[in-house]
A and B are shown apart, each in its own frame.
Chain A
Amino acid sequence: MSQPVLEVKQLRKSYGSEVVLEDISFSVPVHTATVFIGSSGSGKSTLLRCINLLDQIDDGSIVLDGEDITAVDADVDKVRRKLGIVFQSFNLFPHMKVIDNITLAPMKVQGISKEIARENAYKLLDRFGLHDKAENYPDRLSGGQQQRVAIIRSIAVAPRLLLLDEITSALDPVLVNEVLSTVRDLKIEGMTMVLATHEMGFAKQVADEVCFLHHGKILEWGTPAQILEAPQQPETKEFLKRVHEAGRL
């Protein structure tokens, strides 16, 4: 089997005396999606931030394409160029039009010419039905449209791995679907992804592997069917029961 895109080994992360992540190990093969579920505060966002090197880890290592990105001499900027991340709150740049939000990194980071960057951006906007929003500023878009632009912006640099952190939790239920179908399209096209989500139905659809995070530890992992339909651990059962009661399954 070929080398996984991402390999996390015995990762540990704490904020002060509070241990947020402990003994986290998993790997993400190419073209697959690994989905993290778990209650609020279980450490999902922290894990994604660590992978993106926005937070410093306390122990363990993170290997991207066979390269230890947590090594002391790792080039942070270079690593980030291989990673795309979309946050819970869509951090579009409010002073730039949609099209400029998307072309900024390709032009400034990858050195692609303006014409080609715009052409590529329009192709992506076309594909996700946002062509007519290209010249708008982000505040003129609906939440769902903004989040889709954020996704397009992060895949415009052709990342090796896309990190998506609860990208629908700030959205109306109606808008959730348009964003999720965008992610499903990416999955079909073979994008390798790590996601954190509260949408179990969605996890079932896109995940190749589901990991249940509980108090900073991976308590249980497996295929969506194993974890979501036949969980073994009492905590997982309890969590899924609560999610089910909240009507999100």
Chain B
Amino acid sequence: MAATVGIPRALLYYQYYPAWEAFFRTLGAEIVLSADTSKSILDQGVRLAVEEACLPVKLFLGHVADLRDKGVDMLFIPRMVSVEAKKYYCPKFLGLPEIVRCCVPDLPEILSPEINIAKKPARTVAELRRLAARFDRRPRVIDRALAAAKEAHAAYKTLLQSGCTPLEALNGERADSRRGEIRVAVLGHVYNVNDRYFNCNLLAKLRELEVEIVTAEMLPAEAAACGGKWLQKESFWSFGHELLGAGCYLLQEKSVQGVILVAAFGCGPDSLICELIARYYRRFSAIPVLLLTLDEHSGEAGLVTRLEAFIDMLRRRVAV
């Protein structure tokens, strides 16, 4: 029987799952995903994590516990350090394998290759090959697994640029191509914008309200570079770089009628990045910005009311 590899449906799952899936499938491993986020997963995560941790990390721990209870043979929790020069993921990603090991008891083996493509490309590939060899020793198959991962990632990115959200792409749903009369940017970390339970189904609500959604993933590649130009310093976080870039790009283009910033309670980088985006919009435009901070208690009712009020206001502005 093939070994089962558990992948938590949280954090970078939303960014890299197609690549990870292609990699492990080619190697003949069986993938087990944790369940969709639910109240019990959230509660579990909150219980396991230190109180000060941000909610997305707490959620991640909940998903890990879910996989443990499913009895997977191993867990895949890569140490995502950096994928572009001079940019990192958040410190918590750098220490994620250890955080998981210390906070969640009775875990199976954790596979945690270090992904540091910018600084240590050769070592990153070597770690991935070593990992692959545990499933299939044939170099030819390993080469194929790496190539398949790359290809799947590229295809995923192209799909996202065509206007469907990561969640829709991952679930194989077709993008709702309805064009609303207003266009709203939803800017936030991919795992906050696409976790339906955590954000009370934000994207679907917007689609229901006939709003056309723009996320950072849908913008052309050059958008990200906008942020650095405005700030005179580039963000050293990949996410921050992407979000600031998207914010500044859309501000320059003036192609959206409103912006929704989605931040997670307790997130360090968000506290600064969202602040900067909001300031720039206030200073240089009349485009309204709504800041949604997601926390464990953000009730659906409250969120919907705020969202509807915001969209109503945008509609009135467009009408005048």
| A and B form one complex | no
A-side residues, CB < 8 A to B, are none
